[in-house]
């Protein structure tokens, strides 16, 4: 969807770099980012791990601010959401970058994309996103496709405007965010679908370059705010499909979140750097659903089958 025709003078990336939040100077020209658990120390002229935050003259800037690399109108079920505004359209946008590096990423053209030629990416002010969502008769705005947290400054500005029109904000996120940032971001998010990559520290370390513990903390934080929460688990044969891991995940959800949080088990297809595993068999998803039901979970959905 091309909105740039409605913006006569978008400007260049160098003119529009926005000030980043959640960082402190290190006293030597570097910037210590506290947006996510990576806590990147970013030297002058460099970007953080996510590729969306850059140290410019000792100050951290958001390269991604106002520069969505993908804008679409989607059915909300595609996010996937099963129990939030079913049957409606959502105005979806994503940018480049991610703070995890999943070897199996199903959307790596965005998550691993860069802003090398960002002058060519149009700038969309937050009010343009809101007006476009209203014009398209979308009942929500979704930050999706890549990790929303890495351009949270922009998401917050859009969210604050959306609140004036009572349009819900959705995050489809990996939940890899610092408690400090979550305190400021989550209150402005109405619904989230958090990715559960695999229920073990070993899986997160070897397959995503991240850690499970901060993800669980973020999910609990969001749930305690009383917001609408759904969780999606991409099932990869031979990696996170064991009965033991699926049962551990289901039991954690039941114990910490209760029996009524919607859970989506979705099928993997070989992509990006991890091409060893086959497509997830239908029977594996059915098994995952049975394990979750047996644990006491009541809202289980299967996807990509």
- Residues 185-216 have pLDDT tens digits of 999 999 999 999 999 999 999 999 999 999 99
Label residue 63 by pLDDT band (50, 70, 90): very high
List of domains in the chain: 4-62 (no CATH), 70-303 (3.20.20.70)
Peptide bond into 80 cis (omega under 30): yes
106 pLDDT above the threshold of 60: yes
Report the alpha-carbon distance of residue 94 to residue 251 in Å, rounded: 32
Label residue 305 by pLDDT band (50, 70, 90): confident
User: What's residue 5's pLDDT?
Assistant: 39
Helix extents (H) in 136-266: 152-164, 179-185, 201-203, 212-224, 243-256
Whether residue 142 contacts residue 172, with contact meaning beta carbons closer than 8 Å, is answered with yes
42 pLDDT above the threshold of 90: yes
Label residue 49 by pLDDT band (50, 70, 90): very high
265 pLDDT above the threshold of 70: yes
Label residue 121 by pLDDT band (50, 70, 90): confident
Average pLDDT over residues 246-271: 97
Helix extents (H) in 12-151: 13-16, 108-111, 126-135
Interior angle at CA 147, CA 169 and CA 114, nearest 5: 130
Determine what percent of the chain is predicted with pLDDT higher than 90: 91
13 pLDDT above the threshold of 50: no
């Amino acid at each position: 969807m091309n909105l740039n025709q409605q913006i006569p003078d978008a400007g260049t990336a160098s003119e529009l770099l926005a000030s980043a939040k959640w960082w402190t100077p290190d006293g030597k020209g570097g910037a210590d980012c506290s947006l996510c658990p990576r806590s990147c120390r970013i030297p002058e002229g460099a970007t953080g791990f996510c590729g969306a935050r850059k140290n410019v003259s000792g100050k951290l800037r958001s390269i991604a601010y106002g520069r969505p690399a993908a804008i679409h109108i989607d059915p909300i079920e595609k996010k996937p959401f099963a129990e939030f505004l079913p049957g409606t359209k959502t105005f979806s946008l994503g940018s480049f970058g991610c703070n995890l590096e999943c070897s199996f990423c199903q959307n790596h053209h965005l998550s691993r994309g860069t802003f090398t030629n960002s002058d060519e990416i149009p700038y969309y002010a937050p009010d343009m996103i809101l007006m476009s969502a209203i014009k398209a008769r979308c009942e929500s705005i979704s930050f999706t496709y890549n990790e929303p947290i890495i351009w949270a400054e922009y998401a917050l500005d859009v969210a604050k405007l959306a609140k004036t029109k009572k349009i819900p904000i959705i995050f489809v996120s990996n939940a890899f965010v610092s408690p400090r940032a979550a305190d400021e971001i989550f209150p402005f998010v109405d619904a989230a679908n958090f990715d559960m990559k695999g229920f073990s520290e070993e899986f997160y370390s070897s397959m995503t370059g991240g850690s499970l513990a901060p993800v669980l903390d973020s999910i609990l934080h969001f749930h305690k705010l009383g917001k609408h929460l759904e969780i999606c688990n991409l099932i990869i044969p031979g990696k996170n499909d064991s009965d033991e891991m699926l049962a551990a995940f289901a039991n954690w959800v039941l114990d910490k979140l209760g029996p009524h949080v919607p859970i989506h088990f979705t099928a993997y297809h070989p992509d990006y750097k991890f091409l060893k595993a086959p497509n997830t068999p239908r029977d594996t998803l059915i098994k995952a659903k049975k394990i979750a039901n047996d644990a006491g979970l009541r809202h289980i959905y299967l996807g990509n089958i």
